[in-house]
Amino acid sequence: MVYIARSPASVDSGWVTQRNPERSGSVRTGLMIIMMMFFAGLALDIVVPAIALLALVLADRAIYPLFYRRISERGAA
């Protein structure tokens, strides 16, 4: 078998080139921070309406019997 030796500069790594290795770490770190902020915001966008809906359901279950009892007492008199 014949192996062709390549220099590290000829390897394409996608987003980050190997020309400046010090900079490649900071680019990856920046992309990681942006991704974490995006997914944290996405989680908040899902959780906030879910908590509001849960609070509405619990309040409805707690308040409706009080009104229903008053209405039935008013009709019985």
> What pLDDT does 47 receive?
97
- Cα–Cα distance between 5 and 2 in angstroms, integer? 10
Domain boundaries, position 24: 8-76
Q: What are phi and psi of 6, to 5 degrees?
A: -115, 145
If one counts the domains in the chain, the total is 1
**Average pLDDT, 10 consecutive residues per value, the chain (77 residues):** 58 55 76 96 96 93 80 63
**Residue 45 domain-assigned (yes or no):** yes
**Residue 1 domain-assigned (yes or no):** no
